[in-house]
Amino acid sequence: MDAALGSTRLLTLTGPGGTGKTSLAVEAARSCGQRFADGATFVPLASVTRPELVWDAVARALGIETKTGDLAVEVEQRLRDQELLLVLDNFEQLIDGAPMVARLLEACSNLKVLVTTRVPLRVSGELALPVPPLELPRSDASESELLSSEAVQLFLQRSRLARPGFEPTNEDVRIVGEICSRLDGLPLAIELAAARTRLLSPRALLARLERRLELLTGGSRDQIERHQTLRAAIDWSYELLEESEKTLFQRLSGFSGGVTLDAAEATISRITCLFSSDITCDIRPWGTLPKRGSRTEKPPAG
Ligand SMILES: Nc1ncnc2c1ncn2[C@@H]1O[C@H](COP(=O)(O)OP(=O)(O)O)[C@@H](O)[C@H]1O
Ligand SMILES: [Mg+2]
């Protein structure tokens, strides 16, 4: 992160919902913000639905009270001489506003912008960094390897909150490794699954993961709504797609365990939007996904 922020003025953290973009951006603002003379400002945009309202949110975060009613100009004037890291969290539903970010960077030469979004902004100078899922244990990992895997650690940490005093046996730890692999190391899915250990043993949980979208509900009430269930996290992305992209997505959902571009082309006749849409950035890696552990299927990207 540090190196990436050193080499660009516009860094975007991309990836499906629940992969850890916001967490990483918050951490970056805390750790890298000190190196900016004017610090870091975090702008939450999840509830902003129209690009023209981005400036209201930025102005609010910067504590600007409008004098002229033209917030875009006032934000620009404030930031022109500042050395600041501006974090724009949750930009995917505002992607048409990407040129506004580019213009702001042009006007403010000491400004850096860190954006979290499910799709890249696609403006010049952008460095898009995909946030990978958590590291998973190998299928034949020893107990100590399992315990040092980030995914297993997250599951155990969260399950102790759901079930105080939970002391996993060796067998439980092995099954937790399997659960994490089945969930592709996605932090949000792991957290929702771990919350289920309140009632279910790891073995019972694994058995029920076949119906995983029904099971992965009941996130914390203080989480944003679309992080309370995995289905809501996926719905949010799906609703942002164009109609042609939705059709493509539905057809691709017939594949299991990822899809190569060749297989997609062979199966889907109207494939033009594969090359013209933002969906591409989610498809390309599918074909090159390494086989992990005993995973047998891949959920739709969020
Ligand atoms: N590296 C990580 N280690 C532990 N928990 C994580 C990690 N990354 C994300 N999480 C947890 O997963 C959930 C989803 O992360 P979040 O940053 O909100 O994802 P996104 O912004 O990509 O939708 C949050 O509850 C967060 O605490
Ligand atoms: Mg987020």
Q: Tell which one of 12, 19, 23 to mutate to probe ligand 1, the residue whose CB is within 8 A of the most ligand atoms.
A: 23
CA–CA dist 152, 155 (Å, integer):
5
pLDDT at 35: 92
pLDDT at residue 301 tops 50? no
What is the CATH topology of the domain spanning 2-130?
Rossmann fold (3.40.50)
pLDDT at 231: 75
Backbone angles phi, psi at 146, to 5 degrees: -60, -45
Report residues whose beta carbon is within 6 angstroms of any ligand 1 atom.
15, 17-23, 116, 154, 187-188, 191
Residue 84's closest CA among 26, 44, 32? 32
The encoded tokens of residue 73 equal: 């100009």
Ligand 2 centroid – CA 301 distance (Å): 15
Ligand 1 atom having least distance to the Cα of 90: 21
Ligand 2 centroid – CA 182 distance (Å): 22
pLDDT at 237: 74
* Residue type (1 letter), 22: T
Detail the DSSP E strand segments found in 36-142. Answer: 40-44, 85-89, 112-117, 126-130
Q: Residue 183 has what DSSP assignment? A: T
pLDDT at residue 295 tops 70? no
pLDDT at 142: 95
Bridge partners for 117 per DSSP: 14
pLDDT at residue 148 tops 80? yes
Tens-place pLDDT, residues 152-188: 999 999 999 999 999 999 999 999 999 999 888 999 9
Ligand 2 centroid – CA 236 distance (Å): 12
Ligand 2 centroid – CA 237 distance (Å): 12
Greater confidence (282 vs 53) lies with: 53
pLDDT at 48: 96
pLDDT at 302: 41
Ligand 1 atom having least distance to the Cα of 26: 17
**Across the chain, what does the average pLDDT equal?**
84
Q: Which residue has the tokens 């944003």?
A: 224
Tens-place pLDDT, residues 218-270: 666 666 666 667 777 777 777 777 787 788 788 888 877 777 777 777 766 65
pLDDT at 224: 65
Task: Assign 124 a pLDDT band (cuts: 50, 70, 90).
Answer: very high
Range 108-134 average pLDDT:
95
Ligand 1 atom having least distance to the Cα of 219: 25
Detail the DSSP E strand segments found in the chain. Answer: 10-14, 40-44, 85-89, 112-117, 126-130
pLDDT at 292: 33
pLDDT at 262: 77
Tens-place pLDDT, residues 73-99: 999 999 999 999 999 999 999 999 999
Residues in contact with 120: Cβ distance below 8 Å, sequence separation at least 6, in sequence order: 12, 14, 126, 128, 278, 281
Ligand index nearest the alpha carbon of residue 25: 1
Greater confidence (150 vs 252) lies with: 150
Ligand 1 centroid – CA 264 distance (Å): 31
Ligand index nearest the alpha carbon of residue 236: 1
Task: Return the domain boundaries, the chain.
Answer: 2-130, 143-229, 241-287
Task: Assign 277 a pLDDT band (cuts: 50, 70, 90).
Answer: very low
Kindly state the percentage of the chain with pLDDT values over 70: 82
Ligand 1 centroid – CA 20 distance (Å): 4
